[in-house]
Chains A and B, each alone.
Chain A
Amino acid sequence: MSPTVAVVGASLAGLSAARALREQSYEGRIVVIGDEPHAPYDRPPLSKGFLAGTASLDDIALGAPDDEDLGLEWRLGTTAVGLDHVSRSVLLDDGTEIQADGVVLATGARARRLPGDQDLDGVHVLRSLDDAISLRADLVAAGRLVVIGAGFIGAEVASTARALGLEVTVVETQPVPLAGPLGTDMGAVCAELHGDHGTRLLTGTGVAGLVGTSRVEAVELTDGTRLPADVVVVGIGAIPNIDWLARSGVALGNGVLTDACGATNIPGVVAVGDCAAAWSAAAERHVRIEHWTSALEQPATAVATLLGTGGPAPTPVPYFWSDQYGARIQFAGSRRGGDVARVVEGSCADRSFLVVYERDGHPVAVLGMNQPRLFTRWRRQLRSAVPTPP
């Protein structure tokens, strides 16, 4: 019988792993398992064009015509519920199991929820295609939206809803949105986009609870304020889908723990994408990165590890982007507290700028708003630069 690789997860990371297996000349059987019934699709448009109604399901499909030639065996609408590390079998919720010689863990993450937020109609999270379809249906019939969480998903949903004509309020617990990824100064600058476009932003305010009987009517804040709402979106982060591995023997932390090349503690099992926390030499800890580009790029390395042809650990430059209110925000690199942000082009007031973050005089990260050409140059420069000592 020909060897089998089971790819658990059928989104960008899983599909990229399957493509990488073939690119790296693996000729055996590839089974791709996905808990959603849909063929792989691109998630970033779910809060942007797809939610706005300008991108169709066809537009956001990830599959390309050439993928037919990959000869993949799909098990969609099927959830993996366990992994037996001795026989390297993936157990599925339909009672079957797939015995594999290699396993790629690419189960992604799910939206974090508020306690009780599933009891009321009109309260949404946004992670999957079905989430987006149901949120869109609610938004087009609504007048007032409250978004809980001013992270990237929250900001993008707010932006899309404004364009659809809704009255939008965004509530954020932290004093400055996006301070984690961008730092306080630049987080504040990006958050100004809300006010520019008529979205109300309330910061430093916690949510006490959701008000309503069968359908949500308001969001109550910790200071007692009630924000009337027809629709509520909870955008407070994501949790890696690793519960199913609890008894598998695979080492887990905030994600599946891997080395810098995707290897877990179990031979023949690698992990990629949002569910994986890979060792970072620069950070001296395991880091789980939820960026789209990581899900695209990590699988090639992890598959090489699986096939035993891996080379030295890559030194990726994390990259993400966000489109809000017509502004294109791009970030690359690894920023941390104490790094100095310097505007090298444009101005924050004009909403067109390039900011370089420096540590000991060396650039470590770059942020652009509406500066794609210059941003690309800096991103490439960071990629080719000698890694900065931590």
Chain B
Amino acid sequence: MIPVCPTTALPPGEAIRVEADEPIAVFNVDGEFYAIDDTCTHQDASLADGWLDGCTVECPLHASCFDLRTGKVSGPPAKTPVRTHRVVVQDGMVHVQVEPAADGLA
């Protein structure tokens, strides 16, 4: 598990990018934490820089939308889903359990 930050450092509506083999974006949606691959599957842009609207993040560059719960594309131009990762909160710290690559999300 990768330690991310204290829960207090990631208030609702905010996102943070975590450096990993593939960077990961962690979001706080009204107290629930979600983690997905940070790089938009359409073109190179950081989803942690995107706009959070409910459980949807909109890519800051071309407005592709992804569902944080499933990683699925909910708005074009992206065609490919992003991976989702498990978030664990322990002792006030947010951690991410990185999913292995190519986990068959489709």
Contacts and interface: CB of A to CB of B under 8 A. Distances in A.
Interface string B23-66: 00000000000000000000101101111000000101111000
A45 B46 CA distance: 18
A42 B61 contact: no
A184 interface: no
Nearest to B63: A293
B69 interface: no
A45 B43 contact: yes
A56 interface: no
A141 B42 CA distance: 30
Contacts of B61: 321, 328, 330, 372
B77 interface: yes
B60 A64 contact: no
A296 B62 CA distance: 10
B73 interface: yes
- How big is chain A's contact interface, by range? 20 to 34
Contact of B49 (A45, A62, A373): A373
A64 B73 contact: yes
B79 A65 contact: yes
Interface string A11-50: 0100010010000000000000000000000100100010
Contact of A372 (B43, B60, B63): B60
B60 A296 contact: no
A376 B62 contact: no
B41 to A, nearest CB: 10
A292 to B, nearest CB: 7
Nearest to A319: B63
B76 interface: yes
Interface string A147-166: 00000000000000000000
A65 B79 CA distance: 7
Contacts of A373: 46, 48-49, 60
Contacts of B50: 376
B43 A296 contact: no
A197 interface: no
A331 interface: no
Q: Which of A62, A64, A380 has the most CB of B within 10 A?
A: A64
What 7 pairs across the A-B complex have the smallest Cβ distances? Answer: A373-B49, A64-B79, A372-B60, A376-B60, A372-B49, A376-B51, A380-B51
25 contacts: A12-B77, A16-B76, A19-B76, A42-B77, A45-B43, A49-B43, A61-B79, A64-B76, A64-B79, A296-B63, A296-B77, A321-B61, A321-B62, A328-B61, A372-B45, A372-B46, A373-B46, A373-B48, A373-B49, A373-B60, A375-B60, A376-B49, A376-B50, A376-B60, A377-B51
Given A49-B43, A296-B76, A328-B61, 13 more contacts: A16-B76, A61-B79, A64-B79, A65-B79, A296-B77, A321-B61, A330-B61, A372-B60, A372-B61, A376-B49, A376-B50, A376-B60, A380-B51
